[in-house]
Amino acid sequence: NAGVMQNPRHLVRRRGQEARLRCSPMKGHSHVYWYRQLPEEGLKFMVYLQKENIIDESGMPKERFSAEFPKEGPSILRIQQVVRGDSAAYFCASSLGEGPQHFGDGTRLSIL
Amino acid sequence: EDQVTQSPEALRLQEGESSSLNCSYTVSGLRGLFWYRQDPGKGPEFLFTLYSAGEEKEKERLKATLTKKESFLHITAPKPEDSATYLCAVQVLSADGLTFGKGTHLIIQP
């Protein structure tokens, strides 16, 4: 019963380093979504991808953030030159397209 | 701008004490409304999808209903294991990402 798998579960980076978060969708799902959850705030949509395509990146910060979902392998959310404000829980979800999105348990990113 | 407001922010009930959680939404065009449960340190766990006003879904002690402006999550005779944060989210016709409320933190005391 493989659900959405995210790794690492916890990631610590120093300011200025790069963070790479990985997400393997549920079996059979080809639609991937990334969300960010800041302390005391709700989940915020960042980006929606299908295999090799970014469909909607309207919630992604314009600088330092990028996402990909290659033909083979997991989806990657990449944050370059991290700053303290990037500390958050990052969640990935997947779906069949229509129907509910199913979430992983997140990556908790801490910036020193 | 699409908005989702959940109330109350927190709710403490005695075991067996039924209640309802509210989710009010303002959207340009609703594709679907979703309820999730989130436990500490975990990701949201899908509960229900509602698509049109008047629709109801039920699962164990939970029942979700939908009107044109709001949704309710009714909890009947809750147990301590129902303690969690309940999240409401909407998906609009023009987008694929979900817009979430801030959640209701529910505590069921034995």
CA gap A7, A77 in Å, rounded: 11
> Could you report the per-residue pLDDT of B67-103, keeping only the tens digit for each?
999 999 999 999 999 999 999 999 988 778 999 999 9
Say yes or no for a CB contact (<8 Å) between A105 and B49. Answer: no
Neighbour-count burial of A32, counting CB atoms closer than 10 A to its CB (0-12 exposed, 13-18 middle, 19+ buried): buried
| Number of cross-chain residue pairs from A and B with Cβ atoms under 8 Å apart | 58
Tell me the shortest Cα–Cα distance from B103 to chain A, in angstroms: 7
Assess whether pLDDT exceeds 90 at residue B1.
no
What average pLDDT score do residues B5-33 get?
96
> Could you report the per-residue pLDDT of A99-108, keeping only the tens digit for each?
899 999 999 9
Contact residues, chain B, for A21 at CB < 8 Å = none
Query: What percentage of chain A carries pLDDT values higher than 70?
Result: 99
What Å distances lie between residue A109 and A3, A82, A91, A95, B35, CA to CA?
Answer: 21, 10, 11, 24, 26
- The predicted structure's pLDDT at residue A99: 85
Sort strands A88-95 and A31-37 into parallel, antiparallel or unpaired: antiparallel
Q: Which two tokens stand for residue A3?
A: 């659900």
- The predicted structure's pLDDT at residue B28: 86
- The mean pLDDT of chain B is 96
Say yes or no for a CB contact (<8 Å) between B97 and A45. Answer: yes
Tell me the shortest Cα–Cα distance from B18 to chain A, in angstroms: 26
Tokens 């909407």 belong to which residue? B90
Assess whether pLDDT exceeds 60 at residue B44.
yes
Contact residues, chain A, for B95 at CB < 8 Å = 45, 56, 58
Assess whether pLDDT exceeds 90 at residue B36.
yes
Tell me the shortest Cα–Cα distance from A56 to chain B, in angstroms: 8
8 A C-beta contact, residue A70 and residue A18: no
8 A C-beta contact, residue B41 and residue A105: yes
Assess whether pLDDT exceeds 60 at residue B59.
yes
> If you count them, how many residues does chain B have?
110
User: What pLDDT band is residue A1 in, cutting at 50, 70 and 90?
Assistant: low
Neighbour-count burial of A21, counting CB atoms closer than 10 A to its CB (0-12 exposed, 13-18 middle, 19+ buried): buried
What average pLDDT score do residues B46-56 get?
96
Say yes or no for a CB contact (<8 Å) between B97 and A48. Answer: yes
Contact residues, chain B, for A25 at CB < 8 Å = none
CA gap A95, A103 in Å, rounded: 9
Total Cβ atoms within 10 A of residue A52:
10
Q: Pick the closest to residue B32 from A97, A25, A42 (CA basis).
A: A97
What average pLDDT score do residues A20-35 get?
96
User: What pLDDT band is residue A2 in, cutting at 50, 70 and 90?
Assistant: confident
User: What pLDDT band is residue A82 in, cutting at 50, 70 and 90?
Assistant: very high
Q: Is B90 on the interface with A (CB under 8 A)?
A: no
